[in-house]
Structure 1
Amino acid sequence: MITPQELVACIEKLTSLPAVYHRIRALLDDPDSSVHDLAEAVSSDPAITARVLRVVNSVLFGFPGRIETVGRAVNLLGMQQVHDLVLGTAIVGAFNGIRPARMHMSRFWKDSVYRGLAARAAAHRLGLGDPERMFVEGLLADIGHLVMFQAAPDMADAALERAHRHHIPIHEAEQSVVGCHYAEVGAALASAWHLPAGFSAAIGAQLMPLLAGPHTQEAAILHLANDLLASDADEVDEDAVLATMSPSIVTILQADASMLGAVRARVRDELSAVIALFFPDQS
């Protein structure tokens, strides 16, 4: 049996977040820092700058006119949203070179973008939390599987096979075979990377959101994003999704079929463009 921390330690030897992200995080935590300081920090990394401007000028935000500078982006979005934007692009960049032999990486990232967009759309629709923060949390929600298939491929594969053979949820099979499941591993990675408060709690509790304490709504939104992804794959309608959702999730999010349909429609409208935005080689 392996702990989430042991699995994450294997990944940390291969990849890490760029130095510019840590500078931005420090500025965000510094009450004396300014918008100008943050813009300078982002601009110090040409690759991050290009990604941020590409995203800001995309369908995700829909600003009129083109935004040419990081300074203008920070003024329009605010320091917190730019931080989250940099984090999202940095995560994708950090894992770009990790391609476990037994994972279909194009499908993994497509599903991850779907979860991110579903979480963002749900937060918008419900007026809960920060939609851009929820996009990044959704993007990271399944990152534990990438860690598991990279660090312990035989055990991860055996858990997947067990889930299929016994018709049980994948997290139950992983707990039995590996000793931990993907949500716990994702939470451990968020902690190891010192991501903002709430990331680890929401990702780790996405299967049982009531365990997330003050981050229960975020965890519930991630749970909903997973349900919508699975229902799209199975071509299930919104009423059927609602019928299978945990009553606690329905209550926390005040979910109904209309809300699920609106979230799903928005994701379908944005999915291709956002995949092309983050993964131009896969579009």
Structure 2
Amino acid sequence: MTPEALVNQTDTLLSFPDVALRLNRLIDEPATRPSDLAEVIICDPGLSARLLRLVNSALYARPQPVATVSQAIGLIGYRALRELVIATCTVDMFKGLSRQQVDMERFWLHGIACAIAVRHLAGHCGPHDGERLFLAGLLHSLGKLIFFTQCADAYAEVLRLVEQDGLAVDKAEQRVFGFDYADLGAELLKHWDFPESIWSPVAHHLDPAKAAEHRIEAEILHAAARIAQIVQVAVLADSVVPTEDNCEALCKLAERLGMEPDALIDLPGAINLQILEVFEILVPGSTLVY
């Protein structure tokens, strides 16, 4: 089995809704106007409401409230609009999974924490595209969902290797399948026609040194995923103060990124409220973080 074969096998399960596909096509057409995009979005009231809530959230920190979809498009631009719509549709795509397969609320809490962390880190590490990396952060673990839903029996062996032999999850996946969730997630993003600047960091975020292209973006995503782990545990424990071990790990990551250690150590607390706000918008009705 290969990542490509597994993604092709799940093609009908992992198909974007029509609204996302229509927006994608329109955004790629040079003659498209904001009003054209607004017409598509307002046909989906749920998507319209969540888009406006996201644009008015702390993620964008707008000085004045944004009241209409057209206004939102004008303020954030076409590419950011595409990424927000993809984020919303991707969350919806997997919301039917049972808790026995995977705890989706915890999964998306981690993804949203990674997305917001990577957006902040991109600003600290030079002129990198924080909006595009936001999407890479949100979707960096999608390969796990394919494993959980399509390979449940074989994945039980991965869990056994993790619990009984102490292997890291990705090492256990490599042993059982010959590839890991990062490889699988990157293949899915390729299948969805995402640019290399998104799928390549996802493919290499577990080991950025192996990235032939987009190495610094993979390093940023690697650090953001670690911060997301810290934030996820902290939110569930109602505390955002990193432990001593986490501070040591963050100092090492800061050195790799050329950042001041305090900037990375303080980041989990600085972005905590943004994470909770975006989580409540993208995963409405959750009781996980109250």
Per the TM superposition, whether the score is higher than 0.5 is: yes
- 1:78-227, aligned counterparts within 5 Å? 78-99=77-98, 101-227=100-226
Change (3 A) 1:208 1:83: same
Which ranges of structure 2 fall in alignment gaps of 5 or more residues? 235-241
Does 2:273 correspond to 1:274? no
| Equivalent residues of 1:85, 1:132 under 8 A apart | no
Does 2:45 correspond to 1:46? yes
The one-letter amino acid paired with 2:74 is N
User: Greater CA deviation, 124-133 or 68-77?
Assistant: 124-133
Change (3 A) 1:128 1:53: same
Q: How many aligned residue pairs are there?
A: 278
For residues 266 and 10 of structure 1, the distance between their equivalents in structure 2, rounded to whole angstroms, comes to 41
| Equivalent residues of 1:119, 1:222 under 8 A apart | yes
Change (3 A) 1:160 1:244: farther
Query: What is the CA-CA distance between 1:100 and the residue it aligns to?
Result: 6.2
Query: What is the CA-CA distance between 1:88 and the residue it aligns to?
Result: 0.9
Change (3 A) 1:145 1:133: same
Residue in 2 aligned with 1:11?
A: 10
Does 2:243 correspond to 1:236? yes
| Equivalent residues of 2:143, 2:182 under 8 A apart | yes
| Equivalent residues of 2:73, 2:81 under 8 A apart | yes
Which ranges of structure 1 fall in alignment gaps of 5 or more residues? none
Change (3 A) 1:260 1:70: same
Does 2:28 correspond to 1:33? no
For residues 6 and 214 of structure 1, the distance between their equivalents in structure 2, rounded to whole angstroms, comes to 24
Query: Residue 10 of structure 2 aligns to a residue in which SS?
Result: helix
User: Greater CA deviation, 148-157 or 4-13?
Assistant: 4-13
User: Greater CA deviation, 6-15 or 267-276?
Assistant: 6-15
Change (3 A) 1:37 1:184: same
Query: What is the CA-CA distance between 1:278 and the residue it aligns to?
Result: 1.0
Query: Identity over the aligned pairs, expressed in percent?
Result: 31
Query: What is the CA-CA distance between 1:256 and the residue it aligns to?
Result: 3.3
TM-score by length of 2: 0.86
For residues 111 and 21 of structure 1, the distance between their equivalents in structure 2, rounded to whole angstroms, comes to 23
CA RMSD of aligned residues (A): 2.3
| Equivalent residues of 1:5, 1:188 under 8 A apart | yes
For residues 202 and 47 of structure 1, the distance between their equivalents in structure 2, rounded to whole angstroms, comes to 31
Measured against aligned partners, the alpha-carbon deviations of 1:45-93 in whole angstroms (never above 9, x if no partner) come to 3332222112112121121332121110111111111111111111111
Measured against aligned partners, the alpha-carbon deviations of 1:102-153 in whole angstroms (never above 9, x if no partner) come to 3222221211111112112212333442223222211111111111010001
| Equivalent residues of 2:116, 2:275 under 8 A apart | yes
Query: What is the CA-CA distance between 1:244 and the residue it aligns to?
Result: 5.1
| Equivalent residues of 1:42, 1:49 under 8 A apart | yes
| Equivalent residues of 2:250, 2:265 under 8 A apart | no
Instruction: Decide which of 245, 261, 277 is 2:265's aligned counterpart.
Output: 261
The one-letter amino acid paired with 1:241 is A
Change (3 A) 1:87 1:102: closer
TM-score by length of 1: 0.88
